Amino acid sequence: MSLTVAQIAQICQGTIEGDAERTISAANVLAEAGETDLAFVEGNKANRSAEQSRAGCLLVAPSFDVRGDWSVIRVSDPRLAFVSVLHHLYAQTRPEAFIHATAEIAPTANVASDCFIGAYTVIGDGAEIAETCQIANNCAIGDGVRVGPGSVLHPHVTLYHGVKVGARAILHAGCVVGADGFGFTFTGDSYKKFPQVGTVEIGDDVEIGANCCIDRAALGATRIGDGTKLDNLVHVAHNCVIGRHVVIAAQTGLSGSVTVGDYAVIGGQTGVGEKATIDAGAVIGGKAGILTGQHIRAGEAVWGIPARPLRQHLKGLANLAKLPELKAEIIKLRRRLGELEAQQQNKS
């Protein structure tokens, strides 16, 4: 979709300088944008590099110094304005209601008349697919599953029996929701399976990245709150409870019965031990290790393995950097001590 600079300014409620009728058909990063592209400028580094940009239109802060041949729209938050415009430039079109001939839908399933159901998708007994849902090719939806209105399942998503997905959720390709949790009891000389008879409940406006795995609860429910976003390759184990608007980056793993409070942020490749608690608003740095049962306080920022407050972590890194110098000093002191001991022996 193409927009004029004037239309873009209206979307983001900005002030235009330059050609208001210039047509913008795409968005790009500042360094690669062309004459029909929109870009945004944020921060001192971007301000300096903007002079070389060939973008047709720039979203800039009120204080930006114009020195190029662009159309400029001044806004209070260029990044946020850019996001708003992207939703219009790249507006998603909802497919028309359709059920592919190869889809298998159980007679007892209830699929709203305005849904899109792709090829080779299977929907089990008693499942309910609410209005305006989009179910892509090769999805597997188990018995008794509930999918809320406006939700989108990309290809090869698997929802095991009894899973509940809220409204406007987006599940990307390869997600598996509701597989058995890793529950075993050691008896005698072998492990016996602890039956995983709970379920998974996913809230409204949740987005789950490609190839994520969310395990069903042993008893009760594994829960993911409204507005939470999971990156690709995230694993959420049985009986975890994740709050609202939590962000979890790729390759993070949560062990069983972990609790994460609202608005927490968890960096990539973080490992969270069993029954750990991460309170609301906490920030977990990438590759952090949260120990079993560890409690991260509300609003606290932690890093490292084991995870500890950021200030402590940075002090530890600083001390670690001094180790070669300390080693050299110790070697020097040992040598000097040896010389003194030798002198003492000669005197005696």
Q: Indicate which residues carry an active-site annotation.
A: 238
**Structure tokens given for 342:** 């030798």
Q: How far is Cα 216 from Cα 160, in angstroms, rounded to an integer? A: 9
The DSSP symbol for 171 reads E
Q: How far is Cα 339 from Cα 214, in angstroms, rounded to an integer? A: 65
The DSSP symbol for 216 reads P
**Structure tokens given for 244:** 């609202």
Q: For residue 321, give the H/E element and its range.
A: helix 310-321
Q: How far is Cα 311 from Cα 315, in angstroms, rounded to an integer? A: 6
Cα end-to-end span (Å), the chain:
95
Peptide bond into 309 cis (omega under 30): no
**DSSP letters along 61-116, please?**
-TT----SSSEEEE-S-HHHHHHHHHHHHTPPPPPPSEE-TT-EE-TT-EE-TT-E
The DSSP symbol for 221 reads E
Q: What does each C-alpha distance from 36 to 87, 139, 217, 345 come to in angstroms? A: 17, 38, 51, 86
**What angle is formed at CA 91 by the lines to CA 88 and CA 92, rounded to 5 degrees?**
160
The DSSP symbol for 39 reads E
- The tokens 């009894």 sit on which residue? 162
